[in-house]
Amino acid sequence: MSRLQVVSGKGGTGKTTVAAALALALATEGKRTLLVEVEGRQGIAQLFETEALPYEERKIAVSSASEGASRSDSDKGGGRRAGEVFALAIDAERALLDYLQMFYKLGGAGRALKKIGAIDFATTIAPGVRDVLLTGKACEAVRRRDKQGQYVYDHVVMDAPPTGRITRFLNVNDEVAGLARIGPIHNQAQAVMRVLKSPETAVHLVTLLEEMPVQETADGVAELRAADLPVGQVIVNMVRPHLLDEDAVRVAANSRRGAVTKALTAAGVPGAATLVTPLLEQAAEHAQRVELEREQRTTLSTLKLGTYELPMLGEGVDLSGLYQLAKELRKQGVGS
Half-sphere exposure of 314 (CA within 13 A, CB side): 6
Chain centroid, CA 262 distance in Å: 49
Q: How far apart are CA 320 and CA 216, in angstroms?
A: 30
CA angle 84, 196, 91 (to 5 degrees): 60
Percent of the chain residues topping a pLDDT of 70 = 73
* C-alpha–C-alpha distance, residues 96 and 110, integer Å: 9
- Give the pLDDT score at 131: 83
Residue whose C-alpha is closest to residue 326's, from 105, 83, 39: 83
pLDDT computed for residue 85 by the predictor:
96
Provide the H-helix boundaries in the chain. Answer: 15-26, 43-47, 92-104, 108-115, 118-125, 127-143, 163-170, 172-177, 184-196, 211-226, 246-254, 257-266, 272-301, 319-331
Helices (H), 159-239: 163-170, 172-177, 184-196, 211-226
What would the pLDDT profile of 194-212 be if each residue is shown by its tens digit? 999 999 999 999 999 999 9
The residue-averaged pLDDT of 302-310 equals 97
SS3 state of residue 159: strand
For position 143, what pLDDT does the model report? Answer: 93
Mean pLDDT value across residues 80-92? 86
Residue 30 has pLDDT above 90, yes or no: no
Of the pLDDT bands very low, low, confident and very high (cuts 50, 70, 90), residue 63 is confident
Mean pLDDT (the chain, rounded): 81
Angle (CA) 21 8 228, round 5°: 125
Q: Where are the domains of the chain?
A: 4-240+312-331, 242-303
AA letter at 233: Q
Select from 3.40.50.720, 3.40.50.360, 3.40.1280.10, 3.40.50.300 the CATH code of 4-240+312-331. Answer: 3.40.50.300
What is the average per-residue pLDDT within 45-74? 74
Average pLDDT over residues 307-314: 92
Q: What span, in angstroms and rounded, lies between the C-alpha atoms of 135 and 34?
A: 14
Instruction: Provide the b/e sequence for 298-321 (b: ≥16 CB within 10 Å).
Output: eebeebeeeebebeebeeebebee
Q: What is the average pLDDT across 21-41? A: 93
pLDDT band at 116 (very low <50, low <70, confident <90, very high): very low
Band of residue 238 on the pLDDT scale cut at 50, 70, 90: very high
Q: What is the pLDDT of residues 126-160, one digit of tens each?
A: 556 778 878 888 999 999 999 999 999 999 999 99
